[in-house]
Amino acid sequence: MKNLIFALCCILSQVAIAQQKVKFKADKQLLLTINKNLADADAQYKYLAKQLKPQEFPKTYHADQNKLETSNSGWWCSGFYPGTLLNIYQQNHDKALLTEAGRMMKVLEKEQYNTHTHDLGFMMYCSFGTANKLNPSDEYRQILINSAKSLSTRFNPKVGAIKSWDSKPSDFLVIIDNMMNLELLFWATKATGDSSFYKIAVTHANTTIKNHYRPDYSSYHVINYNPETGAVQEKKTAQGYANESAWARGQAWGLYGFTVMYRETGDKKYLEQANHIARFILNNPNLPADKIPYWDFNAPNIPNALRDASAAAIMASALLELCRYANNADALKYFNSAQSIIKTLSSPAYKAANGTNGGFLLKHSVGHFPAGTEIDVPLTYADYYFVEAMQRYKSLVAK
C-alpha cells in the first residue's frame, strides 16, 4: 500500500509539473564569470581546508581578528561545507575536494541519529544527499534514511508540524527555516516507498501556509504552538528586526521551500505560494536595485542597513528553479532577477579575492543581528547557495 501511494504521488507530480516553457538566453560574459568563480572557489576551499583541525567545521571568519570560527558536527550548518566541496567538485573534478568532503562526512555521519534538531535536511541532505547523487551507495542511502527517521520524530500530529527549537514543554516552536528540511523527507519516501515521510512534509507545509504567512505573503519567523491543542500561541521573530517585520533570509527560505514542495508534489497551491512569495520579495519597495536585500525588509536604518548576501544567494537559487515552472512573464522576471543577483555577488563588493576572507567565497552576510552574532561576515550557507545558483544557471541556459 505504501509503495502504491508513493507511485501515485510520483505520477501526479510528474503530470502536474509543466515542462520549461521559456528558453532562457545566456549572458555569455556571466558564464565566463561563473566559470572563474568556480575555479576561484576550488582554490578558496582548499585554502579553507588547510586551516581546519580534524573535527572542526567552518562557521565564519572574523577579518578584524584574522580568526576562523568553527563548530562541531552538531551545528546546524555542518552539512554546508562538505556540500559545497561536492558541488565545486562536480564543476571542476578536483579530487582533493572530493577527498576533503569524504573526510568531513565521516565526522558528520553520527548526526543521522540526532533527534534534537530540525536541521537534518541542511546537515545531512546537503552533504550525504549530494554525495549520493554523485556516487549512489548503500551506506549513503542508509544514513539518509536514518536521518529522515530522526527528523520525523519531531513531528507533532496535533500541531501538524515538525518542532524546530526545543524549549519549555508548553511551547512548540516552528521557524520558517524548517521548510528547507522537508526535501530530505521526500527523498526518503522515494527511497523506501514509505509514504509517512511524504505525509509529514505535506502536513508541515500546509500548516506553515496557514499560520506563518501574512496577507501580503511575507512570513513570520517563529510560530509558537500549543503542543496539546495545536493552537497558535505567538507569532514573532528571533532573527528579524521586529515581530511584524520581514526578515530577509526567512523570506528566502520560504521561497525556496515552497518551490521544492511544488517540484515534489505537483500540487499547484505550492506553486501559487512560491509565486506570491517571489512577488513580495521582487516587488518590495525596500529591495535595492541590485537585488541584494537588506538583512530585514523593514530594518529601521534603510538605506544604510546591512545587506545579506546569504539571503540573496538563496533567493537566486530558488528563482532559478521557480522560473522553470512559472508562466512566461513571471519566468523571465525570476530568471533576470537571479541573473542580476549572481552578477552582483560576483563583483568585488561581495566576492572575496583568493587567499582572503578566511577561504570563504562571499563577504557581507548577516546571521543573527538581534543577538549580535555573525554580523557582516562570510557564512557557509551563503557560499553553498551561491555555488548552487551558479550551477543552476549553467544548467538552465544550456537547455
CA distance 240 to 294: 11
CA distance 303 to 30: 28
Supply the pLDDT for residue 285: 98
CA distance 394 to 30: 10
Q: Across the chain, where does the E strand assignment appear?
A: 57-62, 67-71, 155-156, 161-162, 172-175, 222-225, 232-236, 365-368, 373-377
- Give the DSSP H/E element, type plus range, for residue 49: helix 28-49
Nearest to 323 by CA among 332, 313, 315: 332
Task: Put residue 374 in one of left, alpha, beta given phi > 0 → left and psi -120 to 50 → alpha.
Answer: left
CA distance 245 to 295: 11
* Cβ count within 10 A of residue 325: 24
For residue 176, count CB atoms less than 10 angstroms from its CB and return exposed for 0-12, middle for 13-18, buried for 19 or more.
buried
End-to-end CA distance of the chain: 38
**Phi, psi dihedrals of residue 14, rounded to the nearest 5°:** -70, -35
Q: The whole model's pTM is what?
A: 0.96
CA distance 328 to 50: 46
Residues in the chain: 399
Supply the pLDDT for residue 352: 98
Tell me the CA distances in angstroms from 104 to 56, 108, 128, 305, one per residue in order: 8, 6, 11, 36
Nearest to 40 by CA among 354, 391, 370, 378: 354
Supply the pLDDT for residue 398: 87
User: Do the Cβ atoms of 227 and 159 come closer than 8 Å?
Assistant: yes
CA 275 to chain centre: 17
**What contacts 24+ positions apart, CB below 8 Å, involve 71-76?**
73/107, 73/108, 73/110, 73/111, 73/123, 74/111, 74/114, 74/117, 76/117, 76/119, 76/122, 76/123
User: Do the Cβ atoms of 73 and 111 come closer than 8 Å?
Assistant: yes
Which residues form the catalytic set?
119, 177
Ranges of the chain with pLDDT below 50: 15
CA distance 67 to 358: 8
Set out the domains of the chain in order of their start, with CATH numbers.
2-7+17-398 (1.50.10.10)
